[in-house]
Amino acid sequence: MRKPLTEAERARQGRNIAIALGLVVFVILVFVVTILRLGGSVVDRPI
Amino acid sequence: MATPATLDRPIAPARWQDFLQLMKPRVMSLVVFTALTGLVCANRPIHPVLAGIAILCIAVGAGASASLNMWFDADIDAKMRRTRGRPVPAGRVQGSDALALGVILSLFSTMLLGMTVNWLAAGLLAFTIFFYAVVYTMWLKRSTPQNIVIGGLAGALPPVIGWASASGSVPFNAWLLCAIIFMWTPPHFWALSLYTSEDYEKAGVPMMPVSAGPASTRRQIWIYSLLFTPLCLVPAFTGLGGPGYLAVAALGGLVFLILAWRVYRSRAGDAPDPRQDDGLYDVKLAARDARNLFAFSILYLTLIFAALLAEHLLGVHPLSLLRPN
């Protein structure tokens, strides 16, 4: 059986989820801005 | 500064909500609103996603400077009833964590705004954060009763940043929005400090009622109100506001002046006179006048900015009374 989380562990879990969500939002923002600024054709160029 | 050992030792585990509280979300919402008004009033085409990112960066920048403020002011926050429950003085967040959050978010918000929108807006945002965290918090707040007058510039700049985000420039009308918030700050803040001056005195912060006394503060509130309310009418003459704006600014300005006059004539902030039986009652009644002005000042600023925002979104033609055809 899983041990119930202590208050400190619950708080840390909440902080971790908040940081993860912040990072995901940041990555999405950078991706969207790249497409907006450089245009969708940025992925068509030869590698 | 947060030097006492107790402030660096958390007594309860920090939740993510505590870090959000460090960013003063209520102040952030006002910053978002005024910045959005500036961005829309610029009347320049900007991609909605880029507009959203600009507003997000300005909001995060405001949150970053608030976090730096909470780190530096933890010692005086702990002495004041109004602020002792904040995360750092309450011991839920370490001072060093508040500092780290403020620095990281300052860098992220400024860099992201510069790389995605433009560097003029980013430069203005960086200056605003610096002005609030360093010039106001670390220097002016503890050294002069003019602290909130000069420091008010930090709160007045968001519409300019919003305008710069949309247009890449900051014309006269952008600075006019800045001037309105700048002149609004003293009567707004001094009305609050008239009935919270005990707190500031305890913390050793030289707010105007503590340094110059309540009578001088009431007089200065009245003088600033006499300057502020006509200034709010100016956008109707510079091609920024339309008839709806003029009506809201004029009617609201009249109410503002009446409330400021009542504060001027009141005994708000005075110590009760022990020789008079009803002295305490008079002072409490006067505190109500100060509370009324404080509350209405928030409503008035919100209304005039909302009027501008609505007119520009609906395409209402500005009055342009003084502009050549």
Q: For position B142, which CATH number holds? A: 1.10.357.140
pLDDT of B251 > 60? The answer is: yes
pLDDT of B324 > 50? The answer is: no
- B79 and B213 in a single domain? The answer is no
Of residues B83 and A40, the one with the higher pLDDT is B83
| Three-class secondary structure assignment of chain B | CCCCHHHHCCCCCCCHHHHHHHCCHHHHHHHHHHHHHHHHHCCCCCCHHHHHHHHHHHHHHHHHHHHHHHHHCHHHHCCCCCCCCCCCCCCCCCHHHHHHHHHHHHHHHHHHHHHHCCHHHHHHHHHHHHHHHHHHHHHHCCCCCCHHHHHHHHHHCHHHHHHHHHHCCCCHHHHHHHHHHHHHHHHHHHHHHHCCHHHHHHHCCCCHHHHCCHHHHHHHHHHHHHHHHHHCCHHHHCCCCCHHHHHHHHHHHHHHHHHHHHHHHCCCCCCCCCCCCCHHHHHHHHHHHHHHHHHHHHHHHHHHHHHHHHHHHHCCCCCCCCCCC
Among the ranges given (B32-41, B81-90, B127-136), the one the predictor scored with the smallest mean pLDDT: B81-90
The per-residue pLDDT for B196 is 84
Q: Is B14 on the interface with A (CB under 8 A)?
A: yes
Residue that terminates a domain, selected from B170, B192, B219? B170
Checking ipTM against 0.85, whether it exceeds it is no
Helix (H, G, I), strand (E, B) or coil at A3: coil
With contact defined as beta carbons under 8 Å apart, do B313 and B40 qualify?
yes
- B164 and B200 in a single domain? The answer is no
Query: Is B142 inside any structural domain?
Result: yes
Of residues B180 and A1, the one with the higher pLDDT is B180
pLDDT of B250 > 80? The answer is: yes
The per-residue pLDDT for B255 is 98
- As a whole number, the mean pLDDT across chain B is 90
Q: Pick from A10, A15, A29: which is nearest to B53 by CB?
A: A29
Confidence band of B274 (pLDDT split at 50, 70, 90):
low
AA identity, residue B310: A
Q: Give percent of chain B with pLDDT exceeding 70.
A: 90
The per-residue pLDDT for B10 is 55
With contact defined as beta carbons under 8 Å apart, do B136 and B147 qualify?
yes
- B127 and B225 in a single domain? The answer is no
pLDDT of B199 > 60? The answer is: yes
Contact (CB<8Å) B16/A17: yes
- B149 and B123 in a single domain? The answer is yes
Mutation target to probe the B interface, by most B beta carbons within 10 A, among A9, A16, A26, A32 is A32
- B162 and B246 in a single domain? The answer is no
| Three-class secondary structure assignment of B101-152 | HHHHHHHHHHHHHHHHCCHHHHHHHHHHHHHHHHHHHHHHCCCCCCHHHHHH
The per-residue pLDDT for B271 is 72
The per-residue pLDDT for B270 is 82
The per-residue pLDDT for B4 is 44
pLDDT of A47 > 70? The answer is: no
- B28 and B114 in a single domain? The answer is yes
Query: Is B319 inside any structural domain?
Result: yes
In angstroms, the separation between the Cα of residue B102 and the nearest Cα of chain A is 15
Query: Is B75 inside any structural domain?
Result: yes
- B323 and B235 in a single domain? The answer is yes
- CA–CA distance, B249 with B272 (Å, rounded to integer): 36
Helix (H, G, I), strand (E, B) or coil at A5: coil
pLDDT of A40 > 80? The answer is: no
Diameter over CA atoms, chain A: 54
Name the residue range of residue B73's domain: 1-170
Q: If you average pLDDT over residues B187-201, what whole number do you get?
A: 89
- B86 and B199 in a single domain? The answer is no
- CA–CA distance, B280 with B274 (Å, rounded to integer): 8
Chain B residues touching A14 at Cβ < 8 A:
15-16
- B127 and B200 in a single domain? The answer is no
The per-residue pLDDT for B325 is 40
How many interchain CB pairs under 8 A, A with B?
A: 32
Q: If you average pLDDT over residues B229-234, what whole number do you get?
A: 97
Query: Is B288 inside any structural domain?
Result: yes
For B:104-143, CB contacts with A below 8 A are 108, 112, 115-116
Q: If you average pLDDT over residues B45-56, what whole number do you get?
A: 93
Query: Is B176 inside any structural domain?
Result: no
- B106 and B224 in a single domain? The answer is no
Query: Is B177 inside any structural domain?
Result: no
The per-residue pLDDT for B2 is 44
Among the ranges given (A16-20, A23-27, B267-271, B303-307), the one the predictor scored with the smallest mean pLDDT: B267-271
Residue that terminates a domain, selected from B170, B204, B223? B170
Query: Is B121 inside any structural domain?
Result: yes
Among the ranges given (B207-211, B217-221, B223-227), the one the predictor scored with the smallest mean pLDDT: B207-211
- B287 and B309 in a single domain? The answer is yes
The per-residue pLDDT for B297 is 97
Q: If you average pLDDT over residues B283-301, what whole number do you get?
A: 88
The 8-class DSSP code of residue A41 comes to: G
The per-residue pLDDT for B92 is 92
B88-128 tens-digit pLDDT: 999 999 999 999 999 999 999 999 999 999 999 999 999 99
Structurally, chain B folds into a number of domains equal to 2
Query: Is B152 inside any structural domain?
Result: yes
- B66 and B210 in a single domain? The answer is no
The per-residue pLDDT for B321 is 58
Residue that terminates a domain, selected from B170, B204, B220? B170
The 8-class DSSP code of residue A45 comes to: S
